[in-house]
Structure 1
Amino acid sequence: MVQRHHSELCRIMLWVSFVFSFYHVISAESPDAKVKRKGEVIELTESNWDQILKGEWMVEFHAPWCPACRDFQPEFKRFAEWDRDLGFKAGAVDVHAHPGLSGRFLISALPTVYHVKEGEFRQYTGVRDRERMMRFMEEKDWQKLTPVSPWLHPSGFHMGLVGNFFKLSMKLKNLQTWMVEDQGLPNWVTYAVFAIGTIVLGGTIGVLLVFLIELFPQRGRTHIKAAAKESTEGRIRTQEKAESSASPTPSGTDAEGTDEEGIENSASAGGSPSSGSEEEELQEETKAEPEEDNMVRRRKARREE
């Protein structure tokens, strides 16, 4: 009797397990149907965003307070259902929760979509619907777009600094909101607090810079002073040379003798058979010059010297 009940219980358990197995096989979906029905949108953060540097991605930037983003997100999820068929991965970034990524990518409008191919970033500027984006991927229209320049590449060190500034600005904004909404302080008080903080921070940075300059060795300061002295002496020598070259030629008796000698040499070197009448006329003109005029010219020459 006991054995009969035991065999019937085993038979019932076998039937139940068979029914469950059959139901599982019937209700299971094929892999292809799963790919076409649902795609995965990976949420990117500041700790895992660098995975988009490998492979092909379509990344969407959004914010919870953006109405256009709320309208576009369902369309982007339907587009992501074809990620395996088109050979790409879909990612999304909440710039409100991760302002550092907003700074790295210099996001100025929402929603924004980037196409990423092996570390090359191109901003998608087409119509934001599933069919247009699918055609963009199938026909490889991203090749027609200009990649982001290396100077603005999100993986650069300087872009990381920009991201940190974005995070700092978001923290200051949250602090101002906390002071106004939670603590009930007026806006002018928050502005005064930020102004005083800016002045104190600027003064602290200035003191630190002076302290760092004073830490330079004495040899460096001596070298700087010597270079400045040498530069000053060079300018003085140049100025003296310019003044000496611009000073007038000494005049007077010597100058007159030189002029007379030059006239005689030019007359003799001319080579033309000039008659004695020309020399006589020149001598007469020289003798006819008043002596008072000569005195005046000598005084002027002495004053100029």
Structure 2
Amino acid sequence: MSRSLLLLLFAAAAIAGATCKVGAAQVLVQQQTQNAAASSVVVLTDETFDAKTAKGVWLVDVYAPWCGHCKQLEPTWNKLAEELKAQKVNVAKVDGTKETTLLARFHVEAFPSIFLLKDGRTYVYEGQRSLVHLRAFALNPSKSGAKELAWYKAPNSELGRAMGGVYSLPRRANDAYQYLSKKRKWSDVQITLSLLAIPLVAGVILIIILDCFCVKGPYVAGGVPVPPPARPHAE
């Protein structure tokens, strides 16, 4: 093999190595950019929703990890979160397969479902999922033709919070059972007896409160009962 051929092979190998390094660096930069954009998206849960959305404007995506349309929307959603920072619009997402209470409060029927919480009102997005259309919806929902939910269907209304409390009861009961059985090492019999004792104790406390505060009859200042007036005899 001639010397010139060896030099040519060495140069080709060097160029290939440099190209691989540049490609790897570009991929790393893209991943870092995507991670930075994803970090701008707030993750809402059943426990944090009310506290976090109490103030400000919130654009919420209710998604499912297995949903193909949700996966297609994710890059656009991350970029939207970065762009709307200057307009003080919070971009968030809710995993509908985990946060079942929020799923019920939003009345979600399909994935992905996009909502805007603004000035005590809730708007549902039904347009194209492009960056331009989603930005227009977030900044001015009334002009984008978005549908506004009735007050009793809004997730942040008093009725919505009440529904959230009702839907969260099975999960809270399961959490209590897991805590008592695994951490406190209670048997199923002990847990059952405790659950039966709760309404009994609550009933006794309620009876005591009613007995203390409810008026049993007319009283004078000294606390002596006043007898009822005598009925006149018919002549």
- TM-score, scaled relative to structure 2: 0.49
TM-score by length of 1: 0.41
